[in-house]
Structure 1
Amino acid sequence: MPEGHSVHRIARQFARNFVGKRIRLSSPQGRFVDGAARLDGHSMTDARAVGKQMFLEFDNGLWLRVHLGLYGAWDFAGDIQVDATVASANGRMGQTGMRGTGDAVLDSAGENSVRSIGAPRLTRLRMAEAEKVSVEPDGFPPDPIGQVRVRLLADDVVADLRGPTACEVLGPDQVEVAMNRLGPDPMLDDGAAAEERFVSAVRKKPTPIGRLLMDQSVVSGIGNVYRAELLFRAGINPYAPGKSLRDEQARALWRDWAHLLKIGVSTGQMMTMDDLGDEDYVLAMRNRADRHWVYKREGLPCRICGTHITLEEMAARKLYWCPRCQS
């Protein structure tokens, strides 16, 4: 499932390329005809991400809410301009600060792609790479490919949505309710009030912290990858009840989430390892297996203590952790 950094990048692409333009909406798949008709021909006025959900506002006061879920993705074509704040991985972000490393590094799975963002993108990019063909379509707008739930078309850019968990038109009051149900998102507010909201929610619950970090009403945007990596970086057992965490532990989790999320939005990749040398950093940016501490490393030795990384199940999702470093 795309995590918070991906959805923020999508929202910024919409803000840069679609906001202020008259948009034609259609549903090539046929499952969103009525919803598309309510927005068709109106200008987009805002694009916002809150955690894993995105909200697009139009000049008739209606909003399009999209939750990609496990299988959703946006495909972009045309004269797509990357937002200046997330333009490339030409800076190195981490606990040691930022320093330049040259051009953007596209990883082997296309994780920082600006043309296709979401769950299915990996298969398409790998197919294109294997066949040695361009992923750019001929002509504009390109024909819809596959089951496109909704197409947003401007004069020079187009976005196709496929496979979302949610795609609906909401009024202003409904949008406010939907946003208020979500936990704090440090890309929107990393101030003291947001931190306090997170800490209070965690420390009053007996629920394991590994579950709480995935609860979007507690904190927005964290998925399976960031959950595993945050807990390892903090040395916290994923089964520890939230209320058992010390105040400073909960605050450190929130601040580390803000830190990693900003890196993810800037680079397009879930880089969770700090203090890498230049060669190791480039390798990690190119290969997902080299930029995580525990995620998808089951059976391999912990990078710190050598204990084999454990794979278990928590709330029907895979849980990766080190039984020694996180004891």
Structure 2
Amino acid sequence: MPEGHTIHRLARDLGAAFQGEQVAASTLMDRFADGARLLDGQVVERLDAHGKHLFVRFGPEAWLHVHLGLYGKFTVGRLPAPEAKGALRLRLVGREHWADLRGPTACEVVTPAEKARFHARLGPDPLRKDADPDRAWDRISRSRVAVGALLMQQEVVAGIGNVYRAEILYRHGIEPHREGRGVHREEWDASWDDLRTLMRAGVRAGRIVTTRPEHRSRRSGRATREDSFYVYRRTGLPCRLCGTPVLTEVMAARNLYWCPVCQPR
């Protein structure tokens, strides 16, 4: 599933293609026919992202809400657009660009009040200017739930997925089974600041890289896929710092990765 940096990058790209333009909206799926009619001929006024949720404002009252989920994809290109076919949930066409949405978990037109309720349910997003890390700390510091599970709850921190969870805990030496209330405030503050840095880099690059150059097999140039992570999907491989095999287990319905030496209980 795309993590928060992907959605913020998508908002940026859609804004560059359509913001301020009147667009044609269409669909090949009956269940979104009414929604496409509401958007057709409207001006794209604003793009907004919160965690894994994308919002596009059309005209004064309508917001398009999209959650890509596991299989959703928004493709943006320059005109002419390819032939519309298959399970096309939404096509947008502006003066110079087109965009196709396929396979999202959610694609709906919502009111400003409904959009506000989404924001109220979501935790702080490290990529948003209005994010308040104290909201997340308040929930984490009072919880008996493992911090590795808490970080996957979008109402605690919005935008973190399996990669950022594993990598941020490793980078700060936090054992993922530790109860939230056992995390120290200075650990949380450092982790939050690090998340902001890593996720901003992810928006710029369009990919996640969490390793420092000195910990890669190739210390100069662009990090390879194999060199991009400390523990994520490195089960049984030696830890980059201590050489201990990386462990994995299922936590919060996703595979969790950690080093038992660098992240001691």
Taking the aligned partners of 2:133 and 2:11, their CA distance within structure 1 comes to 23
Counterpart for residue 308 of structure 1: 245
TM-score, normalised via structure 1 length: 0.77
Taking the aligned partners of 1:161 and 1:291, their CA distance within structure 2 comes to 29
- Larger RCO of the pair (alpha carbons < 8 Å, separation 6+): 1
The one-letter amino acid of 2:57's match is E
Counterpart for residue 99 of structure 1: none
Mapped pair 1:253 → 2:191: yes
Structure 1 residues 4-58: Cα deviation after superposition (integer angstroms, max 9, x where no partner): 1110000001111111111111112333111111111111100011111100001
Give the secondary structure class of the aligned counterpart of 2:226. Answer: helix
TM-score, normalised via structure 2 length: 0.94
The one-letter amino acid of 2:61's match is G
Taking the aligned partners of 2:219 and 2:206, their CA distance within structure 1 comes to 18
Counterpart for residue 237 of structure 1: 175
Taking the aligned partners of 2:81 and 2:98, their CA distance within structure 1 comes to 7
Counterpart for residue 42 of structure 1: 42
Give the secondary structure class of the aligned counterpart of 1:240. Answer: coil
Taking the aligned partners of 1:252 and 1:24, their CA distance within structure 2 comes to 45
| 1:149 shift after superposition | 1.0
Structure 1 segments of 4+ aligned residues over 3 angstroms from their partners: 275-279
Taking the aligned partners of 1:254 and 1:306, their CA distance within structure 2 comes to 27
| Residue number among 82, 94, 98 corresponding to 1:154 in the alignment | 94
CA RMSD after TM alignment: 1.7
Taking the aligned partners of 1:222 and 1:54, their CA distance within structure 2 comes to 15
Taking the aligned partners of 1:283 and 1:187, their CA distance within structure 2 comes to 23
Give the secondary structure class of the aligned counterpart of 1:289. Answer: coil
| Residue number among 187, 203, 208 corresponding to 1:265 in the alignment | 203
Query: Is 1:283–1:290's contact at 8 Å kept on the other side of the alignment?
Result: no
Query: Is 2:72–2:103's contact at 8 Å kept on the other side of the alignment?
Result: yes
Taking the aligned partners of 1:244 and 1:76, their CA distance within structure 2 comes to 44
Structure 1 residues 237-257: Cα deviation after superposition (integer angstroms, max 9, x where no partner): 111110111111111111111
Counterpart for residue 197 of structure 1: 135
| 1:312 shift after superposition | 0.7
Query: Is 2:210–2:228's contact at 8 Å kept on the other side of the alignment?
Result: yes
| 1:279 shift after superposition | 5.0
The one-letter amino acid of 1:223's match is G
The within-5 A match list for 1:12-23 is 12-23=12-23
Report sequence identity in percent.
44
| Residue number among 258, 262, 265 corresponding to 1:325 in the alignment | 262
Counterpart for residue 70 of structure 1: 70
Taking the aligned partners of 2:185 and 2:130, their CA distance within structure 1 comes to 17
Taking the aligned partners of 1:321 and 1:209, their CA distance within structure 2 comes to 13
Taking the aligned partners of 1:146 and 1:7, their CA distance within structure 2 comes to 24
Mapped pair 1:291 → 2:231: no
Taking the aligned partners of 2:21 and 2:31, their CA distance within structure 1 comes to 25
Taking the aligned partners of 1:290 and 1:145, their CA distance within structure 2 comes to 38
Mapped pair 1:280 → 2:228: no
Taking the aligned partners of 1:190 and 1:323, their CA distance within structure 2 comes to 35
The one-letter amino acid of 1:188's match is R
The one-letter amino acid of 2:181's match is K
Counterpart for residue 225 of structure 1: 163
Mean Cα deviation higher: 235-244 or 266-275 = 266-275
